[in-house]
Structure 1
Amino acid sequence: MSGMAELSVVVPLKWRDDRGLGELTGYLETLTRRVHEVIVVDGSAEDLFRTHARLWTKSGIRHLAPEDSCANGKVAGVRTGVRAAVGNKVVIADDDVRYEAGTLEAMSRLLERAHLVRPQNHFDPLPWHAVWDTGRTLLNRSLGQDHPGTFGVRRDALLHLGGYDGNTLFENLELSRTIRAGGGVEACASGLYVRRIPPSAARFWSQRPRQAYDDTAQPARLMLFLGLAPLLCVAVVRAPALLPASAGAVVLLAEAGRRRAGGTRVFPARASFTAPLWVLERALLVWPAFAAWLSGVGVAYAGSRIAVAAHSPRLLRRRLRSRPVLGVPGGAESDALMGSVAERADR
C-alpha cells in the first residue's frame, strides 16, 4: 500500500441525537473509498449505537464501542481506535472534521517523517460565532501553533508510549506533549488546511469556560490573561485613549497569523477584527477558571468534572523515563529535515 491507502482514520464520537447523521454518513462513505479503513469509536447511548451500527457497517465502516474508561470520552475513543487500526499511519479526527483527498495525501507524506502531524483547522461555513472563534485561531498562529481537532499519528509510536492520559481536559495538548516527551518528532503544518464544521451557537457558548480552563496547562499564557483584566480596568479609568490603540495592536497580531502560510485562502479578513473581542472574553473567563483550578474543583465536562487540563512536559518526561526514546521515523534523518517537510506542506 502507498499514499492514502496506508491511512486508517479514527473518528471518536458520542452523540446525544442523530441530527447530522446523513451528512456524516455520506462523508464517512467517501472516506472508505480513499483510505485503507475508517474506524468509528462510538460512545453514544445504546439506541443510537445500534442505529449507527446498522447504517455504517454495511458501508464498510468499522464501528466499535470504546474499550477504555476515562473522564475524557474522546481519548477513550482514540485509544480504542488506534489499537484496532491495521495501518501504522492513523488520522484522528473529530466528527466535525472533513478531510479531502489532497489533505489526506499530505498527511500521509508527513507521517513518513514524523510521529505526530498537526494540521490547521478552519471553519466552513462561517456563522458569527465561528468568525469570533477564528480570531483565537489567528492569534495562536501569530504567536506559535493552533491546536486543531485532528492529528496524524504513527500507531507504533503512540502504543510504544502507552497512549496518553484520558483524564485531562485539553487532550490535544496532552497528546502533543506526550509524543514530544517520548522523544518523538512533531510536524506543525500550519499550511495544511482541513475544513471543520462549526458548532451551533449554543455549543459555542458552552465551550467558553472549558476553553478558558485549558490555559491552566500553559503557565505563561495563564499569567498573561490573568493580568489583562486588571490592566483593562486601570486603562478605562486612567488612560482610555490607550484602549483603541491596544485593540488595533491585537488586530494587527491576528492579521499576521491570518497571512501566515497562505492563511488568507481560508481565513476571512473580518476574523482579525474579532480578535480583541476574544481577548476580552478570555481575560474575563480565565479568572473563574483559575479559581476552579486552584480549588481543585475542575471544570464540568460530559457529566463529570476534570481537574487537570494537561500535564507538564517535565512530568511527562519523568513518567516516560523508563521507556526507550522514539527514533526518527524513516531512518536517521535530523529534525532539520523534518522542518523542511513541514515547510513544504505549508507551501
Structure 2
Amino acid sequence: MSLPRAPFHASYVLPIAAATPQLRALTGYLKRLGRVMEDVIVVDGSPGEVFDAHARAWSGAVRHIRPAYRTTNGKVGGVMTGVRAARHEHVIVADDDVRYRRAQLARMLALLHTHEVVRPQNIFRPLPWHARWDTARSLLNRLAGGDWPGTLGVRRSILLDAGGYSGDVLFENLEMVRTVRAAGGREAVPLDLFVERRPPPARHFLSQRVRQAYDEWARPARFAAQLALLPGGLLLSLVGGPFALGAAAAGSVAVAELGRRKAGGRTAFAPSSAFWAPVWLAERAVTSWMALGTGLFLGGVRYRTTRLRHAATPRARLEQKVQTALENQRLETSGTSAA
C-alpha cells in the first residue's frame, strides 16, 4: 500500500465576497485543497450571516479570515490580506470558480522556483454556450501574449517588497503582474498548463461584456485595434459585401484554431471553440465603443457600488511607485541591520 503524499509547502489564497453561502460550490474543493496544500487561506468579505455559515463549514479545513484592508476593487484587499497572512513564500491566488488538481499545483509551484509570477491557462468546464463564446477570446489571446486567467502564482516577498499592488484599478491581475515585473520579477506564461474554471451563469456573463472591454484601457494599442473592428467591419461590408465579411469571419476562425493548436491546446479545447471567434469579435467591436464612452462620459465602469476609472496604473507611474517602495524597503532593512 502506497503512503499518502505530503502536502505542498506553499500557500493558497482564495478571496471571496458572496451574497449567499457558497457551501455546495466550494466546501468539497476546499477540503481537498486542505489535504494537498499546507496552508489554505479563505479571505471572506461576505456579510455577517454568510461569513458565519462559511466559518462553520470551512474552518476545520482552511484558515478562514476577514479582509484586513479595504480597497475600491475589493478583490485586491482580499488578496493582499491573504498574501500577508501566508506562511510560505510561494503563493497561489485563485478566484472561487477555479479548480486545481494536484498535478497543476505541482507545476505552478515548480515554476515559482524559477519565476516570480506565473500566469497559467484557464479552461472552462463544463461548456455551456456562453463558455464556448468566451473560450474564443482565450484562443485568440494564446497568440498574443497569453490569456488572463482567474488565478496567478506569485512569490510573497517580491509582492510585499513592492508595496503590494493597487486596489483602485479594474484589471487587477494585470496590475499584479506589472507590479511584480516592475520590481524585477520574471513572469512565466505556460500555455500548456491548463487549470479548470467553472463558467458563470449566462446572466452574469452577459453583464460583464462592457466591463471586460474596459480592461483594454490598460493596453492602448490593443484597445485601439479593438475599436477599429467596428468601423473596419462596416467599411468591409460596404466595399466587399457579405462575401468579404464571410471571408473575414472565416479568417478569424482560422486564427483562433491556430491558438487552439498552440502548446497542446487541442487536448484542452473543444474543436468547435474556434468557430465562436467571429461572435466574440463582433461583441468586442461593439462593447469597445461602449467602454470608450463609459470612460469618457461616465467616469469609469461600474464596480459594485462605485465606479473604477482606471483599468490599470500607467507603466511609468507604476515603475516609479515600485522603485520607491523597494528603496524604502532597502533603507529599512539596512537601518535594522545597523541597529
Normalising TM by the smaller chain, what interval?
A: over 0.9
Q: Aligned partners of 1:16, 1:264: CA distance in 2, in Å?
A: 37
Whether the 8 Å contact between 1:181 and 1:316 is mirrored in structure 2 is yes
State the Cα deviation string for residues 263-312 of structure 1 (Å, max 9, x = none).
11111111101011101100101112112222361001122111100112
State the Cα deviation string for residues 104-148 of structure 1 (Å, max 9, x = none).
111111111111011110000000000000000000002221000
2:219 matched residue in structure 1: 218
1:60 is displaced (CA, Å) by 2.6
Whether the 8 Å contact between 2:30 and 2:61 is mirrored in structure 1 is no
5+ long unaligned stretches in structure 2:
328-339
Q: Aligned partners of 2:150, 2:11: CA distance in 1, in Å?
A: 16
1:324 is displaced (CA, Å) by 4.2
2:320 matched residue in structure 1: 318
1:264 matched residue in structure 2: 266
Q: Aligned partners of 1:140, 1:162: CA distance in 2, in Å?
A: 29
2:207 matched residue in structure 1: 206
Q: Aligned partners of 2:315, 2:177: CA distance in 1, in Å?
A: 10
SS in 1 for 2:127: coil
SS in 1 for 2:178: helix
SS in 1 for 2:75: helix
Whether the 8 Å contact between 1:3 and 1:109 is mirrored in structure 2 is no
1:254 matched residue in structure 2: 256
1:91 matched residue in structure 2: 92
Q: Aligned partners of 2:198, 2:44: CA distance in 1, in Å?
A: 19
Answer yes or no: is 1:25 the counterpart of 2:20. no
Change (3 A) 1:296 1:185: farther
Percentage of pairs with the same residue = 47
Answer yes or no: is 1:13 the counterpart of 2:16. yes
1:344 matched residue in structure 2: none
Answer yes or no: is 1:75 the counterpart of 2:76. yes
1:62 is displaced (CA, Å) by 0.4
Q: Aligned partners of 1:296, 1:161: CA distance in 2, in Å?
A: 32
1:44 matched residue in structure 2: 46
Question: Which 4+ stretches in 1 moved above 3 angstroms?
Answer: none
State the Cα deviation string for residues 195-252 of structure 1 (Å, max 9, x = none).
0000000110011111010111110111111111111112222211211111111111
Read off the aligned partner of 1:134 and give its amino acid letter. T
State the Cα deviation string for residues 152-185 of structure 1 (Å, max 9, x = none).
1111111010100011100011111111111111
Q: Aligned partners of 1:6, 1:89: CA distance in 2, in Å?
A: 8
Q: Aligned partners of 1:13, 1:213: CA distance in 2, in Å?
A: 23
For residues 136-215 of structure 1, the aligned pairs below 5 Å read: 136-215=137-216
SS in 1 for 2:191: strand
2:55 matched residue in structure 1: 53
Q: Aligned partners of 1:134, 1:195: CA distance in 2, in Å?
A: 12
SS in 1 for 2:153: strand
1:345 matched residue in structure 2: none
2:336 matched residue in structure 1: none
Q: Aligned partners of 1:295, 1:182: CA distance in 2, in Å?
A: 34
5+ long unaligned stretches in structure 1:
326-347
1:314 is displaced (CA, Å) by 2.0
Which structure would you say has the larger RCO, counting Cα contacts within 8 Å and 6 or more residues apart?
1
For residues 289-328 of structure 1, the aligned pairs below 5 Å read: 289-295=291-297, 297-324=299-326
Q: Aligned partners of 1:181, 1:69: CA distance in 2, in Å?
A: 24
Q: Aligned partners of 2:282, 2:317: CA distance in 1, in Å?
A: 32
2:229 matched residue in structure 1: 228
Q: Which moved more, 1:236-245 or 1:160-169?
A: 236-245
Count residues in correspondence: 322
SS in 2 for 1:37: strand
Q: Aligned partners of 2:264, 2:145: CA distance in 1, in Å?
A: 16
1:33 is displaced (CA, Å) by 0.4
1:23 is displaced (CA, Å) by 3.4
Give the TM-score normalised by the residue count of structure 1: 0.90
For residues 105-116 of structure 1, the aligned pairs below 5 Å read: 105-116=106-117
